[in-house]
Amino acid sequence: MKILFCGDVVGRAGRQAITERLPDLRRRLELDFVIVNGENAAHGFGITAKICEEFYAAGADMVTTGNHVWDQREIINTIDDDPRLLRPMNFPQGTPGRGSGIYQAPGGRRVLVIHPMGRLYMESLDDPFAAVEDELANHRLGTSVDCIFVDMHAEATSEKMAMGHFCDGRVSMVAGSHTHVPTADAHILSGGTAYMTDVGMCGDYDSVIGMEKETAMARFTSRMPGGRLEPAVGEATLSAVYLETDDSTGLATAVAPLRLGGCLAERWPA
Protein backbone atom coordinates (compact mmCIF):
# COMPACT_ATOMS: atom_id res chain seq x y z
CA MET A 1 0.00 0.00 0.00
CA LYS A 2 1.18 3.54 -0.78
CA ILE A 3 0.34 6.21 1.80
CA LEU A 4 1.06 9.94 2.09
CA PHE A 5 0.82 11.93 5.31
CA CYS A 6 0.87 15.72 4.89
CA GLY A 7 2.10 17.69 7.91
CA ASP A 8 0.30 20.50 9.74
CA VAL A 9 -1.49 22.76 7.23
CA VAL A 10 -0.99 26.42 8.23
CA GLY A 11 -3.36 29.08 6.94
CA ARG A 12 -4.36 29.94 3.41
CA ALA A 13 -0.90 29.25 1.97
CA GLY A 14 -0.92 25.72 3.37
CA ARG A 15 -4.49 25.09 2.23
CA GLN A 16 -3.57 26.22 -1.26
CA ALA A 17 -0.62 23.83 -1.34
CA ILE A 18 -2.94 20.94 -0.50
CA THR A 19 -5.78 21.82 -2.86
CA GLU A 20 -3.48 22.59 -5.80
CA ARG A 21 -0.84 19.88 -5.44
CA LEU A 22 -2.54 16.89 -3.83
CA PRO A 23 -4.63 15.79 -6.85
CA ASP A 24 -1.48 15.48 -8.98
CA LEU A 25 0.42 13.77 -6.16
CA ARG A 26 -2.28 11.12 -5.86
CA ARG A 27 -1.95 10.33 -9.57
CA ARG A 28 1.83 10.64 -9.85
CA LEU A 29 2.62 8.49 -6.80
CA GLU A 30 -0.37 6.16 -7.32
CA LEU A 31 -1.38 6.71 -3.71
CA ASP A 32 -3.84 4.39 -2.01
CA PHE A 33 -4.48 6.55 1.05
CA VAL A 34 -3.82 10.18 2.05
CA ILE A 35 -3.87 11.70 5.55
CA VAL A 36 -3.72 15.46 6.14
CA ASN A 37 -3.07 17.11 9.51
CA GLY A 38 -5.28 20.20 9.37
CA GLU A 39 -5.14 21.63 12.87
CA ASN A 40 -3.77 25.04 11.79
CA ALA A 41 -5.68 25.30 8.53
CA ALA A 42 -8.23 27.96 9.56
CA HIS A 43 -6.16 31.15 9.63
CA GLY A 44 -3.50 29.32 11.63
CA PHE A 45 -5.78 28.12 14.42
CA GLY A 46 -8.04 25.08 14.15
CA ILE A 47 -10.13 23.79 11.27
CA THR A 48 -13.69 24.08 9.96
CA ALA A 49 -16.05 21.63 8.30
CA LYS A 50 -15.78 23.64 5.07
CA ILE A 51 -11.98 23.30 5.02
CA CYS A 52 -12.28 19.56 5.66
CA GLU A 53 -14.52 19.27 2.60
CA GLU A 54 -11.94 21.15 0.52
CA PHE A 55 -9.26 18.67 1.59
CA TYR A 56 -11.49 15.68 0.83
CA ALA A 57 -12.26 17.10 -2.62
CA ALA A 58 -8.52 17.50 -3.28
CA GLY A 59 -7.86 13.82 -2.48
CA ALA A 60 -7.45 13.52 1.31
CA ASP A 61 -9.07 10.39 2.74
CA MET A 62 -9.16 11.76 6.27
CA VAL A 63 -7.90 14.62 8.47
CA THR A 64 -6.12 14.65 11.84
CA THR A 65 -5.75 17.64 14.15
CA GLY A 66 -3.99 18.30 17.47
CA ASN A 67 -3.93 20.79 20.32
CA HIS A 68 -5.69 23.48 18.24
CA VAL A 69 -8.62 21.23 17.35
CA TRP A 70 -11.18 23.34 19.26
CA ASP A 71 -9.92 26.80 18.25
CA GLN A 72 -12.72 27.16 15.70
CA ARG A 73 -15.64 26.60 18.05
CA GLU A 74 -18.02 25.53 15.28
CA ILE A 75 -16.13 22.24 14.99
CA ILE A 76 -17.37 21.22 18.45
CA ASN A 77 -20.89 20.92 17.03
CA THR A 78 -19.92 19.22 13.75
CA ILE A 79 -17.04 16.83 14.56
CA ASP A 80 -19.38 14.01 15.60
CA ASP A 81 -20.93 14.09 12.13
CA ASP A 82 -17.62 13.58 10.27
CA PRO A 83 -15.98 10.17 10.82
CA ARG A 84 -13.07 11.25 8.61
CA LEU A 85 -12.00 13.99 11.05
CA LEU A 86 -10.08 12.91 14.16
CA ARG A 87 -9.21 14.78 17.36
CA PRO A 88 -6.49 13.48 19.73
CA MET A 89 -7.59 10.17 21.21
CA ASN A 90 -6.46 10.87 24.79
CA PHE A 91 -8.91 13.66 25.54
CA PRO A 92 -11.13 12.67 28.49
CA GLN A 93 -14.02 10.28 27.93
CA GLY A 94 -17.09 12.14 26.70
CA THR A 95 -15.17 14.67 24.58
CA PRO A 96 -16.89 15.19 21.19
CA GLY A 97 -15.44 13.37 18.21
CA ARG A 98 -13.21 10.34 17.96
CA GLY A 99 -9.48 9.69 18.19
CA SER A 100 -9.16 6.76 15.81
CA GLY A 101 -10.92 5.37 12.79
CA ILE A 102 -10.84 2.56 10.25
CA TYR A 103 -11.03 3.62 6.61
CA GLN A 104 -11.36 1.77 3.33
CA ALA A 105 -8.56 1.77 0.77
CA PRO A 106 -8.62 0.29 -2.76
CA GLY A 107 -8.88 -3.46 -2.97
CA GLY A 108 -10.91 -3.76 0.21
CA ARG A 109 -7.91 -2.97 2.39
CA ARG A 110 -8.51 -1.39 5.78
CA VAL A 111 -6.44 1.46 7.25
CA LEU A 112 -6.58 2.20 10.98
CA VAL A 113 -5.48 5.73 11.88
CA ILE A 114 -4.62 6.39 15.54
CA HIS A 115 -4.14 9.95 16.77
CA PRO A 116 -2.54 10.42 20.22
CA MET A 117 -1.26 13.73 21.58
CA GLY A 118 1.82 14.08 23.76
CA ARG A 119 1.84 15.57 27.26
CA LEU A 120 5.38 16.97 27.64
CA TYR A 121 5.15 20.80 27.36
CA MET A 122 1.54 20.44 26.21
CA GLU A 123 -1.91 20.01 27.72
CA SER A 124 -2.30 17.56 30.58
CA LEU A 125 -4.40 14.95 28.80
CA ASP A 126 -4.80 11.26 29.56
CA ASP A 127 -1.82 8.95 29.03
CA PRO A 128 -1.23 8.67 25.25
CA PHE A 129 0.66 5.38 25.61
CA ALA A 130 -2.20 3.75 27.50
CA ALA A 131 -4.67 5.08 24.92
CA VAL A 132 -2.65 3.60 22.05
CA GLU A 133 -2.25 0.30 23.89
CA ASP A 134 -6.01 0.06 24.38
CA GLU A 135 -6.57 0.66 20.67
CA LEU A 136 -3.95 -1.86 19.57
CA ALA A 137 -5.51 -4.49 21.85
CA ASN A 138 -8.49 -4.50 19.49
CA HIS A 139 -6.62 -4.65 16.18
CA ARG A 140 -3.84 -6.80 14.79
CA LEU A 141 -1.73 -5.50 11.92
CA GLY A 142 -1.92 -7.73 8.86
CA THR A 143 -5.00 -9.53 10.21
CA SER A 144 -7.91 -7.31 11.24
CA VAL A 145 -6.45 -4.27 9.44
CA ASP A 146 -3.96 -3.92 6.60
CA CYS A 147 -2.25 -0.74 7.81
CA ILE A 148 -2.03 1.11 11.12
CA PHE A 149 -0.85 4.72 10.93
CA VAL A 150 -0.11 6.76 14.07
CA ASP A 151 -0.06 10.57 13.97
CA MET A 152 1.76 11.42 17.22
CA HIS A 153 1.05 15.11 17.80
CA ALA A 154 3.66 16.20 20.33
CA GLU A 155 6.22 18.84 21.25
CA ALA A 156 9.02 16.70 22.66
CA THR A 157 11.16 14.64 20.31
CA SER A 158 11.80 12.19 23.14
CA GLU A 159 8.09 11.50 23.61
CA LYS A 160 7.64 10.94 19.87
CA MET A 161 10.62 8.59 19.71
CA ALA A 162 9.34 6.68 22.72
CA MET A 163 5.99 6.22 20.97
CA GLY A 164 7.78 4.95 17.87
CA HIS A 165 9.60 2.24 19.81
CA PHE A 166 6.49 1.51 21.91
CA CYS A 167 4.59 0.71 18.68
CA ASP A 168 7.46 -0.94 16.78
CA GLY A 169 6.38 -4.13 15.05
CA ARG A 170 2.71 -3.45 15.80
CA VAL A 171 1.93 -0.52 13.47
CA SER A 172 2.94 0.50 9.97
CA MET A 173 4.23 3.97 10.88
CA VAL A 174 4.52 6.47 13.70
CA ALA A 175 4.81 9.99 12.25
CA GLY A 176 5.25 13.07 14.41
CA SER A 177 3.40 16.32 13.88
CA HIS A 178 3.08 19.68 15.70
CA THR A 179 6.52 21.36 15.62
CA HIS A 180 6.20 22.44 11.94
CA VAL A 181 9.86 21.65 11.17
CA PRO A 182 10.68 18.51 9.12
CA THR A 183 13.25 16.21 10.68
CA ALA A 184 15.87 14.17 8.81
CA ASP A 185 15.27 10.84 10.56
CA ALA A 186 12.73 9.00 8.39
CA HIS A 187 13.67 5.33 8.73
CA ILE A 188 12.34 1.87 9.51
CA LEU A 189 12.76 0.66 13.09
CA SER A 190 14.09 -2.79 13.94
CA GLY A 191 10.61 -4.31 14.25
CA GLY A 192 9.47 -3.06 10.84
CA THR A 193 7.61 0.13 11.79
CA ALA A 194 8.44 3.31 9.85
CA TYR A 195 9.22 6.39 11.91
CA MET A 196 9.80 10.14 11.45
CA THR A 197 10.00 12.56 14.38
CA ASP A 198 8.21 15.41 12.60
CA VAL A 199 6.87 15.64 9.08
CA GLY A 200 6.95 19.44 9.06
CA MET A 201 4.22 21.81 7.94
CA CYS A 202 2.39 22.65 4.77
CA GLY A 203 2.94 26.38 4.97
CA ASP A 204 5.20 29.32 4.17
CA TYR A 205 8.66 28.64 5.63
CA ASP A 206 9.68 32.32 5.25
CA SER A 207 8.09 32.71 8.67
CA VAL A 208 8.28 31.60 12.30
CA ILE A 209 6.70 28.11 12.17
CA GLY A 210 4.19 29.37 9.63
CA MET A 211 3.36 32.69 11.25
CA GLU A 212 4.26 36.17 10.00
CA LYS A 213 7.76 36.72 11.30
CA GLU A 214 7.75 40.35 12.50
CA THR A 215 4.96 39.80 15.05
CA ALA A 216 6.46 36.48 16.12
CA MET A 217 9.92 38.02 16.62
CA ALA A 218 8.44 40.89 18.62
CA ARG A 219 7.10 38.39 21.13
CA PHE A 220 10.66 37.29 21.83
CA THR A 221 12.34 40.71 21.77
CA SER A 222 9.78 42.79 23.68
CA ARG A 223 7.87 42.37 26.90
CA MET A 224 5.04 44.51 25.55
CA PRO A 225 1.75 42.97 24.38
CA GLY A 226 1.86 42.27 20.66
CA GLY A 227 -0.65 41.79 17.90
CA ARG A 228 -2.35 38.55 17.02
CA LEU A 229 -0.17 36.09 15.15
CA GLU A 230 -1.11 35.90 11.48
CA PRO A 231 -0.18 33.10 9.07
CA ALA A 232 2.53 33.94 6.54
CA VAL A 233 1.12 34.24 3.03
CA GLY A 234 4.06 33.41 0.76
CA GLU A 235 4.27 30.25 -1.32
CA ALA A 236 3.97 27.22 0.90
CA THR A 237 6.09 24.10 0.96
CA LEU A 238 4.01 20.95 1.03
CA SER A 239 5.84 18.81 3.60
CA ALA A 240 4.84 15.17 3.82
CA VAL A 241 6.11 11.65 4.39
CA TYR A 242 5.63 8.83 1.90
CA LEU A 243 5.14 5.27 3.14
CA GLU A 244 4.97 1.91 1.43
CA THR A 245 3.77 -1.17 3.30
CA ASP A 246 3.79 -4.91 2.73
CA ASP A 247 0.25 -6.06 1.99
CA SER A 248 0.77 -9.36 3.78
CA THR A 249 2.18 -8.01 7.06
CA GLY A 250 1.25 -4.32 7.06
CA LEU A 251 4.80 -3.40 8.07
CA ALA A 252 6.83 -0.76 6.27
CA THR A 253 8.94 -1.52 3.22
CA ALA A 254 9.91 2.08 2.38
CA VAL A 255 9.63 5.52 3.94
CA ALA A 256 10.86 8.90 2.69
CA PRO A 257 10.12 12.60 3.12
CA LEU A 258 8.42 14.56 0.36
CA ARG A 259 8.73 18.34 0.04
CA LEU A 260 7.39 20.40 -2.82
CA GLY A 261 7.22 24.14 -3.54
CA GLY A 262 8.11 27.15 -1.44
CA CYS A 263 11.58 27.92 -0.11
CA LEU A 264 12.67 24.45 1.07
CA ALA A 265 14.66 22.20 -1.26
CA GLU A 266 12.45 19.87 -3.25
CA ARG A 267 12.51 16.25 -2.09
CA TRP A 268 10.84 13.26 -3.75
CA PRO A 269 10.73 9.61 -2.66
CA ALA A 270 13.17 7.51 -4.65
pLDDT tens-digit readout, 170-227:
999 999 999 999 999 999 999 999 999 999 999 999 999 999 999 999 989 997 777 8
CA–CA distance, 201 with 67 (Å, rounded to integer): 15
- pTM: predicted TM-score of the whole model, two decimal places: 0.97
Per-residue confidence (pLDDT) for residue 227, from 0 to 100: 82
How far is CA 37 from each of CA 47, 59, 75, 153, 224, rounded to the nearest angstrom? 10, 13, 15, 9, 33
**Nearest Cα to 245, choosing from 148, 159, 143?**
148
* 35 pLDDT higher than 90: yes
Q: Tell me the per-residue pLDDT of 243-270, one tens digit each, with 9 for 90 and over.
A: 999 999 999 999 999 999 999 999 999 8
Choosing from 43, 68, 115, 139, which is the catalytic residue?
68
Topology given in CATH for the domain delimited by 2-260 = Purple Acid Phosphatase; chain A, domain 2 (3.60.21)
Please name every residue paired with 177 in a beta bridge, in sequence order, or none if there are none.
Answer: 153
Which parts of 125-260 are beta strand (E)? 147-153, 173-177, 187-188, 194-196, 201-202, 238-245, 252-260
Query: Backbone phi, then psi, for 109, in 5-degree steps?
Result: -75, 150
> Active site includes 68?
yes
pLDDT at 224: 79
Decide: 207 and 229 in contact? Cβ < 8 Å.
no
Element (H, E) at 101: strand 100-105
pLDDT of residue 236: 98
Triad 178, 181, 183: Cα angle to 5°: 105
Sequence spans of domains, the chain = 2-260
Within 8 A by CB and 6+ apart from 150, the residues are 113, 114, 115, 116, 132, 163, 167, 171, 173, 174, 175
Mean pLDDT of 226-237: 93
Confidence label for 139 from pLDDT (cuts 50, 70 and 90):
very high
Collapsing DSSP to helix, strand or coil, 201 comes out as: strand
